[in-house]
Structure 1
Amino acid sequence: MNVSRRSFLLTSGLLGLAGTGALTACGSSGSAGGGGGDGEELAFWIWSGAISEKVVDDVAASVASTVEITPSIIGGDFKQRLTTTLSSGQSVPDITGVKGEDMPSFLAQAEAFLDLNDLGAEDIASSFAAAKYAAATTADGKQIGLPIDLGPTATYYREDQWAQAGLPTDPAAAGQLVATWDGWFQAAKTVKAATGAASIRNSTDVFAVALAQQPETFVTKAGAWAGDGDAVRGAWDLAVRSHTDGVSAALFDATGYNQALAAGTVGGHVGPAWFGLDIASGAPDTSGKWRVTGTPAGPANIGGSFLALTTACRNPQAAFDYIKTLLTPENAAISFTDASVFPATTAAYSLPALTAGQDFYGGQATIDVFGPAAEQLPTVYDDPNNAAIAAPYYTELSNVEGGKDPAAAWTDAVAAAKQVADRAGVQ
């Protein structure tokens, strides 16, 4: 099985989740406007794998006597489909998913969505990981989405390789060793010397995590250019170090990465909870050998998504009650089991579906790592232009691993990114 598309997009700095299928129902056929009323039919747009289909259908069935909810799996570019529909005001869904990487763009179009605070969101805000909830809050306090899931990060490592290298293999002790990026690099070099194995797929994985630990990156909250600032340069230097220290495998293709995992020539990773599925699917015969522990320099988030109500919603209170029920701890746990969606609903972390030991990790209950990380995530400002601005840095890091001088690559990355920022009006 190939590495998932979201892993490919992470490597590209453009995280996304693929959706398949076709539109089966539409919402309002008029302009998005009032958002009032007690309509008996609601259209729900989502992409494949965003949430458990069983939960979606079961909760819809439970309210069928009051309102008919018709879910539609939207294929292709979900953001583009939703943006086009909102702009036209035709066939606008009442309820929609919003991918995490798209939320900054939709925050800039907040007038197209209902403020969920008017429907009771403030009463359940504490149910969710605080940083992820805040990612759907506008500057003036409007809440346009409830978080479905998130991607708290961790350090993945092969227990057998760490033992061979003479390093502590217990997750708690390993966590102390890699509590800083310097500690992680030292451990990775020790493993490389003892086993020949790399500890990261490629340098862009380090870059992504280090960026996600920063409160601001390419554009500040004030709207200023910061692509050559300390936050971005610090993440870049760590990424380049993974190459110069020889602990990156410099693999950018799914097939090569899976082969390296299976062969044991890659025995580690630093990345989000969902990435463990890619490791498990790419190298199933390594089951039992992997462990996870904390992220160097503290937790970060990569990925996740939201549920929102458009201003065309024909029955806002019924729609809000529906999405709220989709995200209860019990239903979030079902989505974790059925769709491998790591819940943003923190009370789910104490339920058996998440607390059980996992065979792939030698019986380790990985929630002991990912749960605290999710609850301690930093609040990060993600500007709508960040994804486009970031792309040249990812390109140049791959060039560095192909032999380009890091200093020249940095200069070229900044120059290209500044052009993107200038075209977007970032000063």
Structure 2
Amino acid sequence: MKLSRRTTAAATIAGAAAFAMLATGCSAGSGSAASGDEDITLTITTFGTFGYDDLYKEYEELHPNVTIKPTNIDTGGNARTDAFTKLAAGSGLSDIVAIEEGWLGAIMEVSDRFVDLNDFGAQDIKDRWLDWKFEQGTDADGRVIGYGTDIGPTGLCYNGKLFEEAGLPSDRAEVAELFGGADASWDTYFELGAEYTEKTGKAWYDHSGFVWNSMVNQMDEGYYTSDGELNIEGNSEMRDRFDQLAEATLNGQSAAQTAWDWGGGKAFVDGSFATFVCPGWMLGTIKGQLEAGGGDASTGWDFADVFPGGPVNWGGAFLSIPTTSKHQEAAAELTAWLTAPEQQVKQSKAAGNFPSTIEAAETIAEESAPNELFNDAPTGAILAERAKGVKAQFKGPDDSVIQENVFGPALNLLDQQEATADEAWQQAMDLLQDLVIDN
């Protein structure tokens, strides 16, 4: 299948299982490619913070004939660029490739470039995953092209020390009530933000882009309708949310930080902002940023079981095998093993993300392990609560392009106080026309 003009253009633009089962029902350690005599080297490309380093070592110890050569790309957007550049070239992809939910729709347009995991026992293990997660990795022809790693239930990260300085409660249960508990709304969030900025002269959130992504993900239908049509122009609900965010940002609630940088992590340490939207996988990102910026548990960050507007899923990933892999059976075994419940529990502890398999999610919730970096918050148990009511939103082929390259520049204008809400929205519509509709 040829890449469409839209997909090729987007490529230049830059997240519960036991051991692997073969179609026969045999385990990965019994008569499988990974346990044979042939020495096999498997390459895998991930992005962000996946928490797989120790799991690679464990798998190699269990399978002495297998050597894993990992590559990790800094962000999901850059991973998309890498994947589509190599798809266009017809070579260079790893044996296993991590795919982020935001660009899964684009991958589905070229799903025949990926191995059908039904050929390696996918139907035998499908009940490990949440139904919607397994369905997300299945194309229109019923081919399973990816096993789910994590999902993105979202809570609110906040800096307890900054809250106290502003006269706000810092106890996470009281913070949840402050925002409205089960009835938490964006109205309340921005009202509290206005109060905070007035008292302190400091920003409420890091930048507008992540807040916007959360607001859009809460809609029944986001940038695309459920039947795959663009859903932006003339969408009054989306425009209302944009205007609400624009008003808060233009009134000083945004710290105008650069996404994925935050001044080398220093903004998480120096009090630049007090709240942060936190899907589970973002906890690992914050950990890395705090360490890079010289912060630690004493910096004051905490995690509350609340989120404005209610449940939302942001992100989550899949492991897929390109048809160019010369070791498809062995790659399928490793993919199933890495996404198994036992391994998802270990991954969650290493990276802070939340499992997509039912058994692993239950384990994380039951253990309620304290997260030292977040004031000993039981982050796993909180994410399990935040996962209740989460539904997967349909992601179209240019979903991540729209988020990052259509609305990203427009929101940056707001962050920099360089445009009105009308002007910023119009820039987004112009970019939508240029980058998506005309392509």
Tell me whether the two structures share a fold, i.e. TM-score over 0.5: yes
1:79 Cα offset (Å): 4.2
| Aligned position for 1:395 | 409
Unaligned runs of 5+ in 2: 1-11, 16-31
Alpha-carbon contact 2:250-2:414 (below 8 Å) kept: no
Show the counterpart of 1:363: 376
Aligned residues of 1:156 and 1:269 also touching (Cα < 8 A): yes
Matches within 5 A, 1:16-415: 41=40, 43-47=42-46, 49-64=49-64, 68=66, 70-73=68-71, 78-83=79-84, 85-86=86-87, 93-178=94-179, 179-228=184-233, 229-252=235-258, 254=261, 256=263, 258-276=265-283, 277-278=285-286, 280-281=290-291, 282=293, 284=295, 287=298, 289-293=300-304, 294-312=306-324, 318-349=330-361, 350-351=363-364, 355-374=368-387, 376-390=389-403, 391-401=405-415, 402-415=417-430
2:390 counterpart letter in structure 1? L
| CA spacing shift, 1:359–1:421, aligned 2, 3 Å | same
Q: CA deviation at 1:351?
A: 4.5
Please give the root-mean-square deviation of Cα atoms over the aligned residues, in Å.
3.5
- What is the Cα deviation at residue 386 of structure 1? 2.3
Q: What SS does the corresponding residue of 2:253 show, helix, strand or coil?
A: coil
Helix, strand or coil for the counterpart of 2:397?
Answer: coil
- 1:262–1:283 contact (8 Å) kept in structure 2: yes
Q: Structure 1 residue runs of 4+, over 6 Å off?
A: 14-17
Percent identical among aligned pairs is 23
Whole-angstrom distance in 2 between the partners of 1:366 and 1:153: 11
Counterpart for residue 6 of structure 1:
none
Measured in 1, the distance between the counterparts of 2:63 and 2:266 equals: 48
Output the CA distance in 2 between the equivalents of 1:199 and 1:38: 53
TM-score normalised by structure 1 residue count: 0.78
Aligned residues: 390
Query: CA offsets, 1:48-84, max 9 Å, x none?
Result: 653412212322442446xx45434276954455445
Q: Which moved more, 1:165-174 or 1:224-233?
A: 165-174
Q: Whole-Å Cα distance in 2 between the matches of residues 379 and 15 of structure 1?
A: 24
For residues 332-365 of structure 1, the C-alpha deviation after alignment (integer angstroms, 9 at most, x for no partner) is 2333344555433343342499732122222221
Q: What CA distance in whole angstroms lies between the structure 2 residues aligned with 1:125 and 1:286? A: 39
User: Which residue identity does 1:403 align to in structure 2?
Assistant: E
Q: 1:272 to 1:312 in 2, by over 3 A?
A: same
How far off its partner does 1:240 sit?
0.8
Uncovered stretches (5+) of structure 1, i.e. residues with no partner? 1-13, 18-36
- Distance in 1 between residues matched to 2:87 and 2:221, nearest whole Å: 29
Q: Which letter does structure 2 place at the counterpart of 1:121?
A: A
Residue 269 of structure 2 aligns to a residue whose secondary structure is: helix
Checking the alignment, whether the CA contact within 8 Å between 1:129 and 1:374 is kept in structure 2 is no
Distance 1:407 1:129, change over 3 A: same
**1:203–1:242 Cα contact (<8 Å) kept:** no
Is the deviation greater in 410-419 or in 79-88?
79-88
TM, length-normalised to structure 2: 0.76
Deviations 1:364-397 (A, max 9, x none): 2112222232454221111112233342322122
Report the alpha carbon displacement of residue 283 of structure 1 after superposing the two structures with TM: 5.8
Q: Summarize the Cα distance change of 1:338–1:223 in structure 2 as closer, same or farther, 3 Å threshold.
A: closer
Deviations 1:248-272 (A, max 9, x none): 2233374558444433241111232
CA contact (8 A) 1:280 1:360 kept: no
- Residue 147 of structure 1: SS of its match in structure 2? strand
Range 314-323 or range 231-240, more displaced: 314-323
